[in-house]
Structure formats: C-alpha cells, structure tokens
Amino acid sequence: MVTLLGISGSLRKASLNSALLKAAAGLPAEGYILETAGIHGIPLYDGDLEAAEGIPAPVTALKEKIIAADGVILFTPEYNNSIPGAFKNAIDWLSRPSSDIPKVFGGKAFALVGASPGNFGTLLSQNAWLSVLHTLGCRTFSEKRLMVSRAHTLFDADGNLTDEATAKRLGDLLAAFAKFAGER
C-alpha cells in the first residue's frame, strides 16, 4: 500500500486548495492511502529563532509525516503569479537543518496540484515550485498536472467539490501519482 501525503499550502478557512485536498481525501483510493496536512502554526523562518529554540514542533510534526510518506502532493495556491509566501516558508523550515534535506526530500516523489479563481489555475505557482523541488532533490511527477481554474465555481458553500469532471481528473492524477511514488 502506497502512502501519499497531501499538504494544503493555504491558511484560509475557506481555501480552495484545502477544499480540493478534502475532495481528494474523499475519493475512492485503490492501492494507496491519502493522508492530509496543513501549514498552520509554522512561524516565519528566522535563523536566530532556529539557533535559540531549534525546530518548531509544527515543523517537526510535518517533517515526520513527509518522511513516512511514499509521495507528497503540494496543493498550492498562486499569489501574484508565484508561490505563496506562507507555503514557501513552510518548505524552508522543513529543509532545516540542511543535513535533514536528504532524509525529508531526497528522492521523494512530489506532485503539484492547485486551485485558483483565476483563468490559468495555478500554472505559474506550479512552475515556480519545480526549481525549489529540484534544488531539494525531489523526484517530481510530471505525467499529469492539475490546475483547477475558476475553482470558486466548482465547490458548494460547504467547500464540497461539485464538478464531476474535476473529480475525475483529480482521481486520475492520484492513481497515477501513487503508481509513480510506489516505484521507488
């Protein structure tokens, strides 16, 4: 059984990416388990804080989840045509100390998914993540991409995905990524 970890990169309660992650977790899964996580509670990276207090508990907890997973899916928003600062900050913390990078990221399968109210989904954010993941030594999944545009029209008031075509695309991506993550 392949274990996947989906991480929402948004802090908003009504986040489209958290809703998409919730939809993914609710899909039938064959041959894999999808666990979910977020970035709440992770402070702004500060080298002085790291030196004085070490790695914060929320970072350590997320790091352990990533290490335990066969593959990680970043459910990324797009802010100002790039990576959201809070999500990048979380990844920066996860790479500390730098001696942990091989254990947390090295050779780990990573996929990118995103939902946005805009017309291009999260194309630019996903592209910007590629250089970060490459630098950290991840195996990036490129067989399928999911950039959900006009996402605010695809969820109901309770954050439930109502668009069957998007649910199918999401399920297809999860199944393909689970296969990729399990090939290691």
CATH number of domain containing 110? 3.40.50.360
User: What type of residue is 98?
Assistant: S
Give the residue ranges of the chain where pLDDT is below 70.
184
Per the structure block, which two tokens stand in for 90?
């979380």
Pair of tokens at residue 154: 């695809």
Count of CB atoms within 10 A of residue 40's CB?
12
Q: What is the pTM of this model?
A: 0.96
Give the pLDDT confidence score for residue 168 in this predicted structure: 96
The total domain count for the chain is 1
What is the reported pLDDT for 144? 85
Chain length of the chain? 184
Torsion of CA 63, 109, 7, 137, to 10 degrees: 60
For the segment 33-78, what is each residue's pLDDT rounded down to a tens digit? 999 999 999 999 999 999 999 999 999 999 999 999 999 999 999 9
Cα–Cα nearest to 139, from 183, 76, 88, 85: 183
Q: For residue 89, what pLDDT is reported?
A: 98
Structure tokens at 165: 């075509």
**Which pLDDT does position 173 carry in this prediction?**
97
* pLDDT on residue 29: 93
Q: For the chain, how big is the Rg over CA atoms in Å? A: 16
In 3D space, the residue among 11, 4, 16, 29 whose CA is nearest the CA of residue 154 turns out to be 16
DSSP state of 136: T
107-133 as b/e: b if 16+ CB within 10 A? ebbbbbbbbbebeebbbbbbebbeebb
What is the domain extent for residue 61? 2-182
